[in-house]
Amino acid sequence: MHGKMVSLERPNDEDYALTARWFGPDAAAAVMAATEGDVVTAEDFRRLDHTGALRQFAVRDRQNRTVGAVHYKSHGPVGGYEIGGAIGEPEMWRRGLGAEAFELLIDHLFHTRNAHRVQFTTALYNKNVLRLVIRTGFTLEGILREYFYLDGRYHDGAVWALLRSEYYEAVEHQRRTDPAFSLPDVIPEEDKEEARRLVAEYIASPSGMTSAGLLMKAVGVGPHAEPADR
C-alpha cells in the first residue's frame, strides 16, 4: 500500500524490534498512542502478527526507512475492526506521516477487507490525534471517564468510529471534487473488465462448459446434449 509520503509493508524482524522499542514502557510513541505501555518483546509482536491476533504493518518513508507501525484487530461482530499505531520517533511527528499511514490502513480495511465498522480509542491529552480525527469524518461515540493514567492522574479517553456507508460517502465526495482521485485498487478496473469479458466469451462459445451446461448435457437438453438413443 503506497501513499505520497509513506507506504505500508509487512514487517520483518528489524521492524518487530523497532515496534517493541517504540511501544515499550515510557516510550514517547506509547504515551501518545495511549497503549498499555507493558514490556513487550519483538518476539511478542511477531507471534501476535503471525497468529492474526494483531495484524501489523511497518510504516516506511520515501527513503524506505521504517518510521512507525500501524495495526488492526477484529473487534466485535464480523466486519468490525479496531486500529492503532503511531510514528515512532518524536522528531518525525507533525509531518503528516501518521495521518497518511492511517488513511492507507483504513482504505485497506474498507476497500479490501470488507470492513463494516472501524474504531479506535485515543486519550484526551493527545491534541495532535484529536485535531486529525475531528476533520477525517470519524464520529465521537463515547467518552471513557478516567480511562488512561499519566503524569500522576487519570485522563478521559474517547472512542471514535467510521461506518462503511460513511467511508464510501466520503469517497464519492472526493471523486466529485477531485478528478484525479482514485481508490488504491489492488487490481486495475480494466483488468477486471477484461477477465469478465474472457469468461463471457467462453460461456458463449460452442466449447464453453459450465456446471449448468454439464447438467443439461447429462439430461439430454441444451446445445451440448448428446443425441438420444433410438
Q: What is the rounded distance in angstroms from the CA atom of residue 225 to the CA atom of residue 125?
A: 73
Write phi, then psi, for 97 (nearest 5 degrees).
-70, -45
Q: Is 9 helix (H, G, I), strand (E, B) or coil?
A: strand
Q: Residue 1: name the closest of 107, 139, 82, 90 by CA.
A: 107
For range 84-95, the mean pLDDT: 87
Q: Around 125, how many Cα atoms within 13 Å sit in the side-chain half-sphere?
A: 15
Domain ranges of the chain: 6-186, 187-230
Q: Is 67 helix (H, G, I), strand (E, B) or coil?
A: strand
Residue scoring higher pLDDT (85 or 30): 85
Residue 41 has a CB neighbour count (10 Å cut-off) of: 12
Write the CB contacts of 110 (distance below 8 Å, at least 6 apart in sequence): 118, 164, 167, 168
Selecting from 3.30.465.10, 3.40.50.170, 3.40.50.1820, 3.40.630.30, what CATH number does the domain 6-186 have? 3.40.630.30
Strands of 139-150's sheet in order across: 6-9, 55-61, 66-74, 80-87, 117-123, 153-163, 139-150
Lowest mean pLDDT among 95-99, 152-156, 184-188, 226-230: 226-230
Work out the angle between the directed axes of helices 97-111 and 127-134 (0-180°, nearest 10).
50
Mean pLDDT of the chain: 85
State yes or no: pLDDT of 92 exceeds 90.
no
Contacts made by residues 185-193, CB under 8 angstroms, sequence distance 24+: 185/111, 186/112
Q: What is the rounded distance in angstroms from the CA atom of residue 123 to the CA atom of residue 158?
A: 6
Which pLDDT value is given to residue 230?
47
State yes or no: pLDDT of 15 exceeds 50.
yes
Beta-ladder partners of 6: 61
Q: What pLDDT, in 10s, does the model give residues 111-135?
A: 999 999 999 999 998 888 888 888 8
Q: Which residue has the cell 521504517?
A: 66
Q: Is 29 helix (H, G, I), strand (E, B) or coil?
A: helix
State yes or no: pLDDT of 228 exceeds 60.
no
For the chain, percent of residues with pLDDT exceeding 90: 41
For range 60-77, the mean pLDDT: 93
